[in-house]
Amino acid sequence: MRKRWRWLGVPGFLVATMAGATCPQWTAAQARQELGALHDRLDGWNHAYRVTGQSPVDDAVYDQALQRFDRWRACFPQQAPAPLAHLADASGAVTAPVAQTGLAKLPDAAAVATWMRSHGSNLWVQPKADGVAVTLLYRDGELHQATSRGDGLHGSNWTAKALRIAAIPRHLPNAPSRVVLQGELYWRLPSHVQARDGGVNARSAVAGAMARDTLDAATAAHIGLFVWDWPSGPADMPSRLAGLRAMGLIDSADYTQPVGTLADVQRWRRRWYRQPMPFAADGTVLRQSRRPGASTWRAEPPEWAVAWKYPAAQALAEVRAVTFTVGRSGRITPVLELEPVQLDDHRVQRVSVGSLRRWQQLDIRPGDQVEVALAGLTIPRLQSVAWRAQQRPPVIPPDPAQHDTLSCWRWVPGCELQFLARLVWLGGKSGLQLDGLGPDTWQALIDAGLVHGLLDWMDLTAAQLAAVPGVGDARAEALLHAFAAARARPFKRWLRALGMPASGTIALTDWHTLAARNDDQWQASGGIGPGRAQHLLAFFRHADVRALAAHLHALGVIGF
């Protein structure tokens, strides 16, 4: 279906909308800058593929970047640079014997079920091998021509390279006089598990090899062939598969299985995703048994075959904002707020940069495009900066000189984040275990003007708590009970809640004894070196910490 665009006039800006998508709100000059930057980045990646066969980015990220480039070009045709050639080639001098159609992508199981209902019961499923497409022409059983996908109608002549790839048969036994096969050249990956290993840039390895001028024997040995269709073959799938087996293409035929229900498709999909395969696969393909004659095929997705891709293990995401957290120890952590992306079963909207130094080195700003992945299949992880926005809005982080392990014991300007982190730690599982006290409740007490210091909550009344928005009488009583119980917590737990550095095996008797220890006495204790001893001395001698200890002593907390 042809996409329809609608242009909206906004003074000073070019704004376009497409069904299901909105174009960036850029000026003409900014559109030219951003498109040029993405064009250059894609061109650089393509160059790396062709020259070294290595991918600077994950294949899925490359695909998403290319799709974004095409979308932006459609949004801003007047500002767009020339289109990019595909990785291996965009066209070529050789006319393909049958058009390479490509496949429409279905987003989810519901869409697959709908497609199956409208296409009858004689359906088949295959793994979607993640490689580069090739068309093979045999005459009288002998390989006559190998053509790249190109633009679907014309491609590059890969015949000389195909003759060096052992996986591509030079001769087909039991073959009709003219055979046209379409399939995928893939990178051999013995015992590859897609769910565990991901795409491992297997496609770029093949594409880079086929794009270079020569194909050496060692590289050719790594390339396999999966035939996914026989356009010139019999009209129905069982007959085509029988013919492929007779011609020696047994593995290709074995990976095409009949399905009658969505559950059948899902079973094969899970199997090929979670069990060892000889190649990377980025999804599954559904095909009708019968389809139109090959002479009618066009270089566009057909109605009789579709793809259902696996969830991406890595994705391209636009940075909406850069925020910062400050932990109780003063550690500053930059966090990227992202345009939501789907990674496996996870919707990812934010990712940690890890450290302030790393963020400064990467210099990530709103508008930048970053590559994210799942660490251990659960935690979003920042992989790299794919490319940078040309307009660089300022981002001002917290001043690291104002934050350390002994800063921010009160709610004062510049200390808001670290002070809140201290309260959360103090009341959490590692601290006093105060039931019902999380970040939101602490913030509500701060906003109500009731908590300015780390222990102000210990002096609050039920009436004060009940007046806090969202608390009320019943919860106020529960909080008051938790506060009262905190006074009876053991001395050791109070020290941990206040953030005392680890003290090895020393007996934690009382505040006075610990505060009186000198450097040598700390180091004489098991497990404490010079650095830790200095941290302990600094903690017990810090004026704010001493004031907290005096407050706890006045309240009768044991040990102080």
Q: Are 90 and 155 in contact (CB under 8 A)?
A: no
All residues at 6 or more sequence positions from 261 whose CB lies less than 8 Å from its CB, including other chains: 116
Helices (H), 275-376: 356-362
- Tell me which of 178 and 62 has the higher pLDDT: 178
Tell me the percentage of the chain whose pLDDT exceeds 90: 68
State residue 523's pLDDT score.
Answer: 87
By three-state DSSP, how is residue 25 classified? coil
Contacts of 67 (CB under 8 A, 6+ apart): none
Rounded to the nearest integer, the mean pLDDT of the chain is 89
- Report residue 60's pLDDT band, with 50, 70 and 90 as the boundaries: confident
The distance of Cα 114 from the centroid of its chain, to the nearest Å, equals 28
Structural domains for the chain: 5-75 (1.10.287), 94-309 (3.30.470.30), 314-401 (2.40.50.140), 406-554 (1.10.150.20)
More confident residue, 64 or 554: 554
Residue 181: phi and psi, rounded to 5, are -115, 145
Residue 481, pLDDT above cutoff 80: yes
Tens-place pLDDT, residues 490-499:
999 999 999 9
pLDDT at 50: 57
Can you give the pLDDT at residue 10? 30
Residue 105 scores a pLDDT above 60: yes
Indicate if the pLDDT at residue 202 is higher than 60: yes
Q: Taking Cα atoms as reference points, which of 145, 163, 162 lies closest to residue 154?
A: 145
Q: What is the mean pLDDT of residues 190-194?
A: 94
Has residue 1 got a pLDDT over 80?
A: no
pLDDT at position 527, please? 77
The DSSP symbol for 203 reads H
Nearest to 148 by CA among 111, 189, 185: 185
At 550 the pLDDT is: 95
| Ranges 316-320, 421-425, 502-506: which has the least confidence | 502-506
Say what the pLDDT of residue 62 is: 83
Q: For residue 80, what pLDDT band results from cuts at 50, 70 and 90?
A: confident
pLDDT at 120: 85
pLDDT above 90 for 379:
no
Window from 63-72, 216-225, 404-413, 423-432 with minimum mean pLDDT: 63-72
CB atoms within 10 A of CB 494: 24
Whether the CB-CB separation of 301 and 47 falls below 8 Å is answered with no
Residue 377 has pLDDT above 90, yes or no: no
pLDDT value, residue 233? 96
Strands 305-309 and 104-106: parallel
Query: What are the residue numbers of the active site?
Result: 128
**Model pLDDT, residue 4:** 28
Residue 312 has pLDDT above 90, yes or no: no
Query: Residue 150, class by beta-carbon neighbours within 10 Å (0-12 exposed, 13-18 middle, 19+ buried)?
Result: buried
Task: Please indicate whether residue 373 or residue 424 has the higher confidence score (pLDDT).
Answer: 424
Q: What span, in angstroms and rounded, lies between the C-alpha atoms of 350 and 109?
A: 26
Count Cβ atoms below 10 Å from residue 74 Cβ, excluding itself: 15
In the prediction, which pLDDT does 307 show?
A: 95
The full 3-state SS of 454-501, as one line of letters, equals CCHHHHCCHHHHHCCCCCHHHHHHHHHHHHHHHCCCCHHHHHHHHCCC
In this prediction, residue 148 carries a pLDDT of 92
Evaluate if residue 153 carries a pLDDT over 60. Answer: yes
Least confident of 46-55, 411-420, 457-466: 46-55
313 pLDDT tier (thresholds 50, 70, 90): confident
CB 77 within 8 A of CB 136: no
CB 213 within 8 A of CB 251: no
The 10 Å Cβ neighbour count of residue 268 is 18
Comparing C-alpha atoms, which of 147, 102, 439, 456 is closest to residue 302? 102
**Neighbour tally for 280: CB within 10 Å:** 26
| Size of the chain in residues | 560
What gap in Å lies between CA 87 and CA 50, rounded to an integer? 8
CB 105 within 8 A of CB 68: no
Q: Measure Cα distances from 443 to 29, 275, 438, 448, 477 in Å.
A: 44, 48, 9, 8, 18
Residue 236 has pLDDT above 80, yes or no: yes
CB burial string 499-508: b at 16+ within 10 A, e below: bbbebeebeb
CA distance 336 to 357: 15
Other Cβ atoms closer than 10 A to 376: 6
How does residue 362 score in pLDDT terms, banded at 50, 70 and 90? very high
Angle between helices 543-554 and 530-541 (to 10 degrees): 60
